[in-house]
Amino acid sequence: MTGTIVNTIAILCGSSIGAVLRRGISEKYQHALFDAMGFSAFALGVNAVAQNLPNSKYPVLFILAMAIGSLLGAVWDWDGKFQRLSARLGHSELGRGLCTAILLFCIGTLSILGPIESAVNGNNTYLFTNATLDFVTSMVLASTYGIGIALSAAVLFCWQGSLYLLGLWLGSFMPGELLTEVSIVGGLLIVVSGVSMLRIKDCRTLNMLPSLFVSAALYFVAKAVM
């Protein structure tokens, strides 16, 4: 749980600093911060793919997973549903900010893969990276919406804590090959997140998240057939 605790503290610290800077961080500095975080996420994603792809027993599985998962996400319109939920709950400025914060902090590849990777392999790299991203993001959001953004830290702790416990439960019989395939897709989604943060293209990363679960399903299918 070390990574999750660090991630939670990072949001609390970022929110506190942002609240002190209540006048708001200028758009120029926001862009500079998000550019730095976007390139960092991009590099982490490329590294995850480069590390795991040579170990894949099914090198084309990630292509199918991304294609099928993205189609499912588009059909279910996860991105649109979250945007509409955010708009529905955002009756006040703080409500809108909290919805945005929870979406950014919890519904992302690093925040999903991180606790599982930590539980299974004891590797907190994803969570520490996510903590850095969330620190900057919470600081920017709190400078606009106030200290109430810190409430999102409690939601993140419960979310990542649940995934960590799930990872501990599955860890004893989770094949290493499966984690490799999921990590490849996860790495690609981290790259996509970086591209979106850099404002190169709005990739609707939420609609691609089903690819993580599709990669696991395809792994078991491939294992049964081959």
The average pLDDT across 39-60 equals 86
Looking at this protein, which amino acid is placed at residue 109? T
Structural domain including 76 reads 2-225
* Mean local confidence (pLDDT), 16-24: 80
**Could you identify the residue written with the tokens 């170990």?**
55
Q: Is it the case that residue 92 has pLDDT exceeding 60?
A: no
> For 146-188, what is each residue's pLDDT tens digit?
788 898 899 999 989 998 998 888 766 667 788 788 888 888 8
Cα 94–chain centre separation = 22
Going by pLDDT thresholds of 50, 70 and 90, the confidence category of residue 74 is: very high
Confidence at 214, pLDDT banded by 50, 70, 90: very high
Band of pLDDT at residue 1, cut at 50, 70 and 90: confident
- The residue with greater pLDDT, 77 or 24, is 77
Cα–Cα distance between 212 and 88 in angstroms, integer?
28
What's the rounded Cα separation, in Å, for the pair 61 and 63?
Answer: 5
Bigger pLDDT: 195 vs 40: 195
- For the entire predicted model, the pTM comes to 0.73
State the pLDDT at residue 84.
Answer: 74
- State the Cα–Cα distance between residues 43 and 56, nearest whole angstrom: 20
Q: Is the pLDDT of residue 103 over 80?
A: no
Does residue 224 or residue 92 have the better pLDDT? 224
Residue 208: closest CA among 45, 4, 44: 45
The burial class, CB within 10 Å (0-12 / 13-18 / 19+), for 125 is middle
Per-residue DSSP letter, 201:
-
| CA–CA distance, 74 with 79 (Å, rounded to integer) | 8
- Tell me which DSSP letter residue 60 carries: T
**What's the farthest any 2 CA atoms get from each other in the chain?**
60
Among the listed residues 211, 199, 204, the one whose alpha carbon sits nearest the alpha carbon of residue 82? 204
Domain total of the chain: 1
